[in-house]
Structure 1
Amino acid sequence: MSSASTSASDAWESLFRTQVAVMRVLRQDFAGAGMSINEYDVLYNIARCPERRIRLRDLNESVLITQSSVSRLIDRLVARGFVEKFEDEFDARSTIVALTAAGVSEFRRVGRIHADSIERHVGGALTEDELATLQELCERLRAPFAPDSKPEKK
């Protein structure tokens, strides 16, 4: 294995292990918030969409869980009054999910808890410059995998 391959592998393992460790702590902080981190992730992804609504199939591409898990989770969020589902008026095969007023309120409440947790566990470990560098590096790593990215021509 070349030194570049070893360096890439070591960097990936470090990033992955750090993400796992931080996610464990964040999940614990969510336990007391009355919402799972996966529920928050779904609400987050809907909240950042225009009019706080998205096609279910598009939501599936943005969240960290499987398609079948998203469908079940959406049904639970509908039952709790945080999300509503309806047919897409332009495509009868599609389902639209949208945040309700209660969903927006709950998303904001839990979002404050989540932001405080991130500040404690991530922000407290790095300087502002290091946080900016981390963000830039993560965005560069993620860019080729974005749905709208095109492979570079060689």
Structure 2
Amino acid sequence: MDMTTRWLTPGEQRAWRAYLAATLLVEDAIDRQLQQDAGMPHLYYSILANLSEVPEQQLRMTDLAERTKITRSRLTYAVTRLEKDGLVRRENCRWDKRGSVAVLTDEGRAVLERSAPGHVETVRNSLFAHLSAEQVEQLEAICTGVARALEADGTRPAADEVPWRRRSTPPSSCS
């Protein structure tokens, strides 16, 4: 055993395990609902939702990968599947032909609109129904604080080391 390692305290260990159990169970509930209602996993729904929230309902693939926090290769695979289903289409980037843009189709918007009520209900029932209003505020504060700290303290990789930000082309690229 390494004597320089700062092991988790018993309380930290319990909190860590509770966090893991809760996040895995919530994610499983969401995935099951989305598979049943929309025939897709949560990641695919998240891609559609992110596209629906931006002007012109389109994003550069690199920006979409960053928003969903997945690698570009994983995003490419997911978007290819969504394209086959007619929910998304890829277009060349207007300002750089080497890159591509993911665009939400009318069919994709319709699937999102049909599955959103069940998704929201599942999120509410699997997470928020078990929390008081004060706990919801605490959860937001905790998650926001952790995210900000990881982005600011150097434990998060540099921009060019983050998988969804890696580029094989110059930064002006759309890919």
Q: Normalization by structure 1: what TM-score?
A: 0.82
User: Which consecutive unaligned segments of at least 5 residues does structure 1 have?
Assistant: none
**Pair 1:127 & 2:132 matched:** yes
In 1, the alpha carbon distance for the partners of 2:124 and 2:100 equals 36
One-letter identity of the residue aligned with 1:29: Q
What SS does structure 2 have at the residue aligned with 1:134?
helix
**Pair 1:23 & 2:27 matched:** yes
- Aligned-pair distance for 1:94? 1.0
- Aligned-pair distance for 1:50? 2.2
User: Which consecutive unaligned segments of at least 5 residues does structure 2 have?
Assistant: 155-175
Contact 1:38 / 1:64 at 8 angstroms: preserved in 2? Answer: no
The C-alpha deviation readout for 1:68-101, integer Å capped at 9, x for no partner, is: 2211211121122211111111111210011112
CA RMSD of aligned residues (A): 2.2
Q: Normalization by structure 2: what TM-score?
A: 0.74
- Aligned-pair distance for 1:105? 1.6
Contact 1:26 / 1:117 at 8 angstroms: preserved in 2? Answer: yes
Q: How many residues align?
A: 148
One-letter identity of the residue aligned with 2:141: E
Contact 1:38 / 1:65 at 8 angstroms: preserved in 2? Answer: no
Contact 1:77 / 1:83 at 8 angstroms: preserved in 2? Answer: yes
Contact 2:89 / 2:105 at 8 angstroms: preserved in 1? Answer: yes
In 2, the alpha carbon distance for the partners of 1:41 and 1:87 equals 22
Match of 2:168 in 1: none
One-letter identity of the residue aligned with 1:60: A
Aligned to 1:142, which of 134, 144, 147?
Answer: 147
Contact 2:61 / 2:72 at 8 angstroms: preserved in 1? Answer: no
Residue correspondence of structure 1 range 108-119 to structure 2 within 5 A? 108-119=113-124
Aligned to 2:73, which of 63, 68, 91?
Answer: 68
Percent of aligned pairs with the same residue?
Answer: 22
Answer 1 or 2: higher relative contact order, Cα 8 Å, separation at least 6. 2
What SS does structure 1 have at the residue aligned with 2:49?
helix
